[in-house]
Structure 1
Amino acid sequence: MEIQTTKRGRGAFSLTELLVVIGVVAVLAAMLLPANSGPRRKWVAQRINCINNLKQDALASKLWANDNGGKYPMEISFANRGAMEFAERGIACPIFQAMSNELSTPRILICPADEKHFPATNFTTDFNNSKISYFVGLNASEANPQSFLAGDDNFAINGKPVQSGILNLQGNRVEWTNERHHRAGNIALADGSVQQINNESLEKSFETGAATNRLVIP
């Protein structure tokens, strides 16, 4: 009985040949990667860490509100453990100090891409506005889930970087600077979610009324 064999066509690859091809492609891909791929990976990691920071900030705010009649520190007087008087004067740090138990560490108040500010070691002697990267939505409310609760504070208003204090969004051209997230920013909403918003989406949020009217800039 004659056993017939099927010869492999010249167009097919053996496993060894396939592995060699994959190895060559990997080497070529590595050689062709742009020189700035490292900085891009760093930028992506910073954006993700910033989002995580703001999620923790939003959770702390909601936990605090649950213990205080559904209101945030900027809605309750200092005499009742809130920070309303400071918020109305555009001072951000007492708002976060009121939530220090819920926040647990001031390190999450610094955006990883913020090269101008550095985290505090505690919420008392070492804590002030210069140790904060995030604005506070002065008019944020549990009743308005899409209102801005907190977020990156690197805004420019009418082309000029914002200063510490109260930023009124109405009637002004507000946009992100290029300092942190390539002309975009991360914002925590009152529903606890965090969104990355570019300048176009930022402008639309003002048109739809999703944004709060005033922000406290540290």
Structure 2
Amino acid sequence: MLASVACRVVHVMLVKRYGRDKPKGLFRQVQSRYATAGKRAEFLKAIGDGALYTVLLAALTKPEAHSIASLVQQADAAYHVMNCPDLVAVSDPDQLTTLMQNVIIRDAAFAVGERSMGLAAAMKKLTACLQEWDRVNPGLADRSSLQRAGSVLWSAEGWEVTPRTPAETYRGGVKLDTVVMDDTDIQFAIDELWRAMREGRASTDATPTANGSGAGLPPT
């Protein structure tokens, strides 16, 4: 539940569009207003000490995903947080270490210091694979079609998981478990994403393979 809430927070903060001529996410819009008022330093002082950065990453990457939808949502949100340098603009490594040790989320130091970095890197690679697929298959990702609830979609606008209700809805984007069937690079990137999520666990699992894991199921 904590990861789900954190995903929604990151989407509103850094991803969601609120108008054609406005920056993506409420974070950038508020930052822009402060900058226009000549108060950018005040904004960074309030938001850039690393506290929000640490709590979001701990909430996003501490719990282990068990579905491709959760995996993509958590990894994509972690990627956006880690690529927002203003969240750590006035912090330093010692301060971040102290925050990780003191945040009231178990194993936060592992989640923030290790798992989040692996997930963000793997998500960057997966997204690059989809961008390359889009280049080879122009226009397909922009088409709107009827999608089942819980479908994992990608388009130039980013990642989306269709809501649980209604059972079907029209959405633009390419369905991940469709394109992965004919593209081994995408399958390998998904496998890397699963490995990044599983890395560091107390228990050991077999290494996922390109032919065995499937886009919709965690490798066993």
- Give the TM-score normalised by the residue count of structure 1: 0.26
Q: Tell me which protein shows more helix as a share of its residues.
A: 2
Q: Tell me which protein shows more strand as a share of its residues.
A: 1
- Give the TM-score normalised by the residue count of structure 2: 0.26
